[in-house]
Amino acid sequence: MRSITCFNIWYFLCLGLGLACVACVCFWNSQWRGGFAWDGSSRQFNWHPVLMVTGMLVLYGNGAVLYRVPLTWGENKLPWKLLHAALMLLALILSVIGLCAVFGNHNASNIPNLYSLHSWIGIITTVLFAAQWAAGMAVFLLPWSPDSLRKLLKPQHVWMGGSLMTLGIGACISGINEKLFFVLKGNTSGSQPYSQLPTEALLGNSLGVLMIAFGLVVLKILSTREWQKPESQNVLIAECDGDDLIL
């Protein structure tokens, strides 16, 4: 009972931090960056941070911890597997749309693509995320995959899931910092440079801290053995039925 209570505290902290991240990035881009559009302007770019934080970080993290929720420990596993896969697919779709937003803005404004470290990390993370989802779907969800293959790939699959969470945090944080350096130069009327920590800089930095906290909570939930789905004594672990995985 104490373990379940501790899990609930951490899980609701995960949900709260995720919602705070989404609210913060939406407020930042609507309040200081002019809102949203899909016309090639800077307002199209504003979709990029919102969709990447929502998809690559928050939805991904919540999809990753889904199998730690005791409600998913029943005998009927298929609905939870499908929900897990759907959450990850939605996270991937939002991430791809977020990339389309920034490429469209750069092309319309004659800005080079993929020149920064942030963009390299983001592209690598998205490509690995797509490969991870496809492999997870083929190996752990579809019924014709042999148990030997599941047993072989499960450790790598779980390791890659945690690695993608870390890469996503790195991509989002580096993107926030890059954006703040670009827009807070103090060379326009009434604006302050980033070094003076104006309100927008404080919000951006706070968003980065929230994302780190969210990622740490997700990794805490995933790494605590007491919160993993109990294995049935009548089922060999080698069967690797797809539970406890990160698609």
pTM, whole model, 2 decimals?
A: 0.89
The pLDDT of residue 156 is 87
Lookup: tokens for 83: 């929900």
Q: Considering only CA atoms, which of 194, 201, 161, 204 is closest in space to residue 53?
A: 204
Any domain includes 244 = no
The separation between the first and the last C-alpha atoms of the chain, rounded to the nearest angstrom, is 29
The three-class DSSP label of residue 109 is coil
The pLDDT of residue 144 is 79
Quick one: how far is CA 129 from the chain centroid?
A: 10
Any domain includes 137 = yes
Regions in the chain scoring below 70 on pLDDT: 1, 188-190, 231-247
Lookup: tokens for 211: 């994302």
The pLDDT of residue 70 is 85
The pLDDT of residue 1 is 62
Q: How many CA atoms lie within 13 A of 225 on its CB side?
A: 1
Give pLDDT tens digits for 130-172: 999 999 998 888 877 888 888 888 888 888 989 999 999 999 9
Any domain includes 246 = no
Q: Give the Cβ contact number of residue 247 at 10 Å.
A: 28
Any domain includes 247 = no
Could you tell me the CA-to-CA distances from 125 to 132, 153, 165, 169 in Å, in that order?
10, 19, 9, 10
Any domain includes 35 = yes
Any domain includes 142 = yes
Any domain includes 216 = yes
The pLDDT of residue 180 is 96
What's the total number of domains in the chain? 1
The three-class DSSP label of residue 247 is coil
Distance CA 96, CA 138 (A): 21
The parent domain of residue 113 ranges over 2-239
Residue 99's CATH number = 1.20.120.1770
